[in-house]
Amino acid sequence: MASTVTIEPSKDSSASSRPGYGQLLRTRGAWTFLLPGFAARQPFAMLTISIVLLVQHTTGSYGAAGAAAAVTGVSMAVFAPYSGRLADRYGQRTVLIPGVLVHTLSGLTLTTLALNHAPLWALFAAAVPTGASVPQVGPMVRARWGVKLQGSPLMTTAAAFESVTDELTFVVGPLLATALCTTVDPAAGLVTEAALTLLGGLLFAAQKSTQPLVAVDGHARVEHASALRVPGVRVLIVTFLGIGSVFGGMQVSLAAFTESIGEPGLNGVLYGTFATGNMLSGIACGAIAWKVSPQRRLVVGYAALALAASGLWAAHSVLVLAGLGLLVGMCIAPALITGYTLVEDLVPAGARTEAFTWLTGAVALGQAAAVTVAGQLEDRFWGGAGFLVPTGGTLLALATLVALRSRLAARPRGRTVARGVGHRVPVAVD
């Protein structure tokens, strides 16, 4: 029979209802997982560009490089939710340690094969485990915030802080990887990515005191239902696929646009403007004491994102494109933050890491698909045709979100229900 566990709000959640980053960062024990977590998630942003630069150098083909990177991205998107579910059931540390070891070995194998001019199928074979074993540190950090701040208005601030951290990662990571590959050695980016994954992942895994507890029934572990069974999570997955289409479409289309005007160096500037808009709005979003429900914020914010993305294909100058890119970036962060915030209302604590990885995987899958489609559009049609991908992706996701928004209704507060037999006791699993 099903049993119910009642969770009392933590004492920390009784703090001021006015969110603030200072109050968030003073949460007891937060820095013990934030610092190693930042180091461990940095390689995530280095992986794709490192593979592209290495494989393009050894094969002379951007097509082969993009294909190898796409295989990695799809593998990550497919396997990430299973990694998250295992972390919920057996503990983050139990899943993370073997994961970082497999990822490090796979990444170094891919590097060795590329340097030895192995055939493309061999690169694909190494790219699959490299992507499948990418440590899902970001979702794990978010799950730890959920434990620390359960029921607290600071959850929105924490979601915003994590969004800003992700954006900072995606600004610093590609720059570091590019600098290493172009000034040190074409393989330096991927080797550094593997080393940082190993070091940061093991340090993060060592923080046992802050990982979410795992419920057990006597000597047997409780079987938790998958987060994918929650209707609202499925709606959020579609929503995040649309966000991924913006990232992927922007990357390809901005590169094609700057090359077409003979200024390829502006690509970094334009994409940096897009990322800056995302960071700034993320910071602002976390500092606001919202009175509007997150469900309504998501619909309104996503409508603004779709509207802004719809103008990209018509931009024909650097200044106009920079302005639109800044606006699109500013619309993405509120949608991401609100989506992650809704997970805390929709999903029981025992399945949140899995839920976060479904969303992260959806962004990665949407990005991989958008890169492929946008590249084909740029090659086959007019310059700027790739910008139709963010437009189409966000409009389709918005239609789904509006039609199914009732599924985002919050679950009853103060109760967590999981399937199991008898009395369950939460315990920390090493």
Over the chain, what is the mean pLDDT?
A: 78
Residue 367, burial from CB neighbour count under 10 angstroms (0-12, 13-18, 19+): buried
Query: Does the residue 1 lie in any domain?
Result: no
pLDDT for 412? 57
Give the side-chain half-sphere CA count within 13 A for 286. Answer: 26
Tokens of 298: 């998501």
Residue 360, burial from CB neighbour count under 10 angstroms (0-12, 13-18, 19+): buried
Task: Tell me: do 89 and 168 sit in the same domain.
Answer: yes
Task: Tell me: do 187 and 52 sit in the same domain.
Answer: yes
At residue 336, the 3 state secondary structure works out as: helix
pLDDT for 297? 87
Strands 3-6, 220-221: pairing kind: unpaired
Q: What is the pLDDT of residues 357-368, one digit of tens each?
A: 888 888 878 877
Q: Could you tell me which residue, 165 or 129, shows the higher pLDDT?
A: 129
Average pLDDT (253-267) is 75
pLDDT for 110? 95
Q: Give just the sign of the alpha carbon dihedral 45, 373, 110, 56.
A: negative
Beta bridge partners of 427: 214
278 Cα distance to chain centroid: 14
Question: At how many degrees (to 10) do helices 318-346 and 137-148 cross?
Answer: 50
Task: Tell me: do 171 and 252 sit in the same domain.
Answer: no
Contact 168, 349 (CB under 8 A): no
Task: Tell me: do 205 and 264 sit in the same domain.
Answer: no
Q: What is the pLDDT of residues 318-357, one digit of tens each?
A: 888 888 888 998 888 888 888 888 887 787 767 777 788 8
Task: Tell me: do 112 and 239 sit in the same domain.
Answer: no
Q: What is the DSSP letter of 228?
A: G
- Provide the number of structural domains found in the chain: 2
Separation of alpha carbons 199 and 188, rounded Å: 16
Q: What is the pLDDT of residues 366-399, one digit of tens each?
A: 877 887 787 777 777 777 778 888 999 999 999 9
Task: Tell me: do 194 and 243 sit in the same domain.
Answer: no
Task: Tell me: do 177 and 263 sit in the same domain.
Answer: no
Q: Which of 97-101, 225-229, 387-391 has the lowest mean pLDDT?
A: 225-229
Q: Which structural domain, as residue segments, surrounds residue 392?
A: 225-412
